[in-house]
């Protein structure tokens, strides 16, 4: 039977190819949507791991979370450095990691932070050591790969975060002392240094950052009041709760203050993903409509084929083929087109993703990978095949019900 | 008897086509079913092949009643015993000649190797056309191909409906001779429904069907 089916497919090769492509495009669109939705969701979830609360300047809570947890938006502003010590003194806080943003190099953000940030991102050193002195930096794996940064290399940071870099701080260079192993986290694309280095670059006087810990309140006060006019500030603080009760009390307590706000990455991510899901669902509907159009194309093609093949199908019955055999030849033909469409769609989607990663830096920066495969892709393939089966079953049923004698009489 | 038709009646849309019709054909005998259009030749062939069921009477092929209800049973009897050649419905359009023969043999439950198919095509002078699609064949070649397709499964009864109507004299002679020779070589009984009197030369036995749709003759 397969030999016969493939012969018919060859006979109508252009129509068959167009139907395969139509279904393939719809399957590719659905798989791409799935890939984007799942990979974005995974990235959001992974990025927020270990961070219960973000504290930063007043503004959009979502912007605060995006800029400090995911490093993909501009910060809402800066907050006094003293807020870090205040929070560390709070019994509801298990850990508080400061982030000082503002500069970048080659599109990669320079983040002033502490060593505990490495643990948060599960980032390990592949080469060198961690930063110990001012202007020493550890760079992420992706940053090192794209810029070719190596140990001992020096560079000047520029004001601004990525897209529009501003004035270059060419008075003091940063030096690469460590390179991180790929971790799949935002750290892959960051340049990490001490908070003091960020202050020093901007000429902000300060005391030793480590002195801002609660046990050294004096030093903290010194840091706040030192300098000719620019006070030490940080951009955000990543908080981990000590207990579940903190989730109820700490954000409210922080938000009562006039100059800082607390935002929950879980809440903001869910809010964003809800909006994202709605868009994905709408596009998904479009994808399935496209697949249904492919099904209609198969139906139309097979329906016409059945009409033009009436004699052949009657001859098969004369030769002893059962109605089921003839029915199956049409059904299998539709199924082969649909299955090829599904396979082409899957391959096409992964190739497009691979191409997009190579061509568009933003896709690459968002951490998308072309080689990731999700079980739901098989569901998309199965859906496309079912559409093909339904579309071909109708003409096949017509053949099944056709009476032989009128066709024989006509021939 | 290979073909036994007893008291068969058949009406189309209430109009009698055959009434109380009887015919017996022994194995190895060849017959023409002669008569003008509307005389019931094709209807009789459709009944013999099991494409239609009679309103009354019994039709048996090699002792198996093909006139009883049950399409699967009729298909099976046809597969086992009958090869059919039509005027224009000759070969499956998407398959080349040799693939047509192999498919016919497989559907009949008597798989044929490519060598078997090629040998038969050789006997019909079509060896060099084995890989040709039906649309690439001339009328005569296509009809010879149809005969090969019908014979590959070694049927006991070879039935043809107006096999030469579309052919010129030369091709009619070739086809008629081939029908006769191959049927005899394969031990098949030949039954040809036609209004083409040119075939009398090759198939002397005939059954005349009258346009009155009544029984005209019985053997």
Mutate to test the interface with A, among B17, B41, B77, B94 (most CBs of A within 10 A): B94
> Is residue A321 predicted with pLDDT exceeding 80?
yes
The pLDDT of residue A191: 93
pLDDT at B60: 92
Residue A336 binned pLDDT confidence (cut-offs 50, 70, 90): very high
* Residue predicted with more confidence, A73 or A129: A129
Q: What are A's interface residues with B at a Cβ cutoff of 8 A?
A: 3-4, 7-8, 10-11, 309, 311-312, 314-323, 325, 404-405, 407-409, 411
Residue A129, pLDDT above cutoff 90: yes
Q: What is the pLDDT of residue A362?
A: 67
Contact B107 A315 (CB under 8 A): no
* Distance (Å, whole) CA A237 – CA A87: 9
Is residue B216 very low, low, confident or very high in pLDDT (cuts 50, 70, 90)?
Answer: very low
Pairing of strands B31-34, B205-208: parallel
pLDDT surpasses 60 at B175: yes
A113: pLDDT confidence band, cut at 50, 70 and 90? very high
Mean pLDDT for A315-333 is 88
The strand pairing partners of B8, in sequence order, are: B21
Say what the pLDDT of residue A352 is: 92
- Chain A residues whose beta carbon lies within 8 Å of the beta carbon of residue B84: 318-319
For the stretch A157-192, pLDDT in tens is 887 765 555 667 667 789 999 999 988 788 888 999
**Are the beta carbons of A10 and B87 separated by less than 8 Å?**
no
d(CA B199, CA B190): 12
Give the model confidence (pLDDT) of A274-313 as tens digits.
887 888 888 888 888 888 888 888 888 888 877 788 888 8
Closest residue in chain B to residue A311, using alpha carbons only: B89
CB distance A320–B78 less than 8 Å?
yes
Task: Return the higher-pLDDT residue of B57 and A157.
Answer: B57
Q: Tell me, what's the ipTM?
A: 0.83
**Does the pLDDT at position B214 exceed 70?**
no
What's the pLDDT score for residue A365? 64
Nearest CA in chain B to A10: B94
Q: What is the pLDDT of residue A205?
A: 65
Mean pLDDT of B175-186: 82
| Chain B residues inside the 8 Å CB shell of A10 | 94
Q: How much is the pLDDT for B170?
A: 81
Q: Which pLDDT score is estimated for A218?
A: 35
pLDDT of residue A342 exceeding 80: yes
Please say if the pLDDT value at position A107 is more than 80: yes
- Interface A–B counts its CB contacts (< 8 A) at 74
- Band (A230; pLDDT cuts 50, 70, 90): low
Phi and psi, residue A390, nearest 5°: -65, -45
**Cβ–Cβ gap B52/A405 under 8 Å:** yes
Task: Tell me the shortest Cα–Cα distance from A312 to chain B, in angstroms.
Answer: 5
Q: How confident is the model at residue A358 (pLDDT cuts 50, 70, 90)?
A: confident
Q: Quote the percentage of chain B above a pLDDT of 90.
A: 14
> Mean pLDDT throughout B69-79?
85
Backbone angles phi, psi at A113, to 5 degrees: -155, -160
Q: Tell me the average pLDDT of chain B.
A: 84
The answer on pLDDT for A224 being more than 80 is no
Q: Give residue-wise pLDDT tens across range A34-54.
A: 888 888 888 777 777 889 999
Phi then psi dihedrals of residue A33, to 5 deg:
-60, -45
pLDDT band at A127 (very low <50, low <70, confident <90, very high): very high
Integer angstrom CA distances of residue A200 from A118, A205, B53: 22, 7, 102
Residues of chain A with C-beta less than 8 angstroms from the C-beta of B94: 4, 7-8, 10-11, 312
* Chain A CB contacts of B73 below 8 Å: none
Positive or negative, the Cα torsion across A135, A140, A146, A149?
positive
- Residue A147: predicted pLDDT: 87
Contact A411 B89 (CB under 8 A): yes
Task: Note if the pTM is more than 0.90.
Answer: no
Q: Angle formed by the axes of helices A2-11 and A13-48, to 10°? A: 100
For residue B109, the model assigns a pLDDT of 83
Instruction: Return the pLDDT at A161.
Output: 67
- Encode pLDDT of B111-168 as tens digits: 778 888 898 898 888 889 999 999 999 888 888 898 889 888 888 899 988 888 777 8
More confident residue, A211 or A111: A111
Considering only the beta carbons, identify the residue of B72, B95, B108 that sits closest to A4: B95
Mutate to test the interface with A, among B13, B92, B131, B160 (most CBs of A within 10 A): B92
The mean of the pLDDT values for chain A is 84
CB contact under 8 A, A311 and B89: yes
Beta-carbon separation of A312 and B93 below 8 A: yes
Spatial distance between the Cα atoms of B49 and B86, rounded to a whole number of angstroms: 12
**What is residue A332's predicted lDDT score, i.e. its pLDDT?**
92
Contacts of A318 in chain B (CB under 8 A): 49, 51, 78, 84, 86, 89
* Dist. CA B209–CA A290, nearest whole Å: 59
Chain B partners of A312 at a C-beta cutoff of 8 Å?
92-94
**Looking at residues A207-222, what average pLDDT do you find?**
42
- Contact check, Cβ <8 Å, B86/A405: no
Residue of B50, B70, B71, B107 best to disrupt the A interface, most CBs of A under 10 A? B107
The yes-or-no verdict on residue B215 having pLDDT over 80 is no
Interface test with A, best of B42, B90, B103 (most A CBs within 10 A): B103
pLDDT of residue A73: 80
Q: Give the 3-state secondary structure of chain A.
A: CHHHHHHHHHHCHHHHHHHHHHHHHHHHHHHHHHHHHHHHHHHHHHHHCCCCEEEEECCCHHHHHHHHHHCCCCCCCCEECHHHHHHHHCCCEEEEEEEEEEEEECCEEEEEECCHHHHHCCCCEEEECCCCCCCEEEECHHHHHHHCCCCCCEECCEECCCCCCCCECCCCCEEEEEEECCCCCHHHHCEEEEHHHHHHHCCCCCCCHHHHCHHHHHHHHHHHHCCCCCCCEECEEEEEECCCHHHHHHHHHHHCCCCEEEECHHHHHHHHHHHHHHHHHHHHHHHHHHHHHHHHHHHHHHHHHHHHCHHHHHHHHHCCCCHHHHHHHHHHHHHHHHHHHHHHHHHHHHHHHHHHHHHCHHHHHCCCCCCCCCHHHHHHHHHHHHHHHHHHHHHHHHHHHCCHHHHHHHC
Supply the pLDDT for residue A99: 93
Chain B positions in Cβ-Cβ contact with residue A407 (cut-off 8 Å) = 89
Q: How far apart are CA B37 and CA A250, in angstroms?
A: 99
Nearest to B92 among A10, A315, A405 (CB): A315
């Amino acid at each position: 039977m397969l030999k016969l089916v493939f012969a018919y497919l060859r006979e109508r090769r252009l129509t068959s190819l167009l139907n395969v492509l139509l279904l393939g495009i719809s399957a590719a669109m659905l798989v791409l949507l799935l890939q984007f939705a799942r990979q974005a969701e995974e990235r959001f979830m992974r990025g927020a791991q270990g961070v219960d609360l973000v504290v930063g300047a007043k503004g959009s809570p979502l912007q605060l979370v995006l800029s400090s947890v995911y490093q993909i938006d501009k910060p809402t502003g800066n907050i006094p450095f003293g807020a870090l010590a205040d929070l560390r003194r709070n019994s509801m806080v298990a850990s508080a990691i400061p982030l000082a943003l503002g500069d970048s190099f080659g599109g990669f953000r320079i983040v002033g932070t502490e060593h505990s940030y490495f643990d948060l991102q599960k980032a390990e050193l592949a080469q060198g050591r961690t930063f110990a002195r001012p202007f020493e930096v550890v760079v992420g794996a992706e940053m090192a790969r794209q810029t070719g940064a190596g140990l001992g290399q020096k560079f000047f940071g520029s004001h601004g975060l990525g897209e529009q870099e501003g004035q270059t701080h060419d008075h003091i260079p940063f030096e690469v002392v460590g390179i991180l192993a790929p971790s799949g986290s935002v750290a892959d694309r960051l340049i990490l240094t001490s908070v003091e280095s960020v202050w020093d670059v901007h000429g902000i006087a300060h005391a030793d950052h480590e002195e801002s810990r609660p046990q050294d309140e004096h030093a903290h006060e010194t840091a706040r009041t030192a300098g000719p006019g620019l006070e030490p500030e940080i951009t955000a603080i990543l908080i981990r709760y000590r207990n579940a009760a903190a989730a109820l009390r700490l954000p409210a307590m922080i938000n009562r203050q006039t100059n800082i706000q607390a935002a929950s990455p879980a809440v903001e991510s869910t809010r964003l993903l809800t909006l994202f899901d709605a868009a994905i669902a709408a596009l998904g509907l479009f994808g399935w409509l496209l697949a249904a159009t492919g099904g209609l194309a198969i139906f139309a093609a097979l329906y016409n084929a059945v009409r033009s093949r009436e004699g052949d199908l009657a001859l098969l019955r004369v030769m002893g083929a059962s109605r089921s055999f003839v029915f199956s030849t049409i059904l299998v033909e539709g199924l082969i087109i649909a299955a090829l469409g599904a396979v082409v769609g899957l391959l096409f989607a992964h190739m497009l993703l691979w191409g997009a990663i190579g061509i568009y830096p933003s896709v690459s920066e968002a951490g998308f990978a072309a080689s990731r495969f999700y079980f739901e892709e098989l569901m998309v393939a199965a859906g496309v095949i079912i559409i093909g089966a339904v579309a071909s079953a109708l003409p096949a049923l017509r053949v099944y019900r056709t009476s032989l004698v009128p066709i024989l009489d006509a021939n | 008897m290979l073909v036994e038709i007893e008291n068969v009646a058949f009406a189309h849309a209430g109009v009698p086509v055959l009434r109380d019709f009887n015919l017996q054909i022994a194995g190895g005998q060849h017959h023409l079913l002669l008569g003008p259009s509307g005389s019931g030749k094709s209807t009789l062939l459709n009944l013999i092949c099991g494409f239609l069921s009679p309103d009354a009477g019994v039709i048996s092929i090699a002792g198996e009643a093909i006139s009883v209800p049950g399409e699967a049973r009729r298909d099976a009897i046809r597969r086992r015993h009958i090869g059919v050649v039509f005027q224009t419905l000759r070969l499956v359009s998407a398959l080349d000649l040799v693939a047509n023969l192999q498919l016919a043999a497989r559907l009949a439950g008597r798989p044929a190797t490519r060598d078997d198919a090629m040998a038969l095509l050789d006997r019909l002078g079509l060896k060099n056309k084995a890989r040709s699609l039906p649309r690439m064949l001339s009328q005569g070649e296509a009809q010879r191909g149809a005969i090969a397709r019908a014979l590959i499964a070694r049927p006991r009864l070879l039935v043809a409906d107006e096999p030469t109507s579309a052919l010129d004299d030369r091709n009619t002679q070739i086809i008629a001779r081939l029908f006769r020779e191959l049927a005899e070589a394969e031990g098949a009984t030949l039954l040809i429904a036609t209004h083409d009197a040119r075939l009398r030369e090759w198939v002397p036995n005939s059954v005349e069907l009258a346009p009155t749709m009544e029984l005209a003759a019985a053997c």
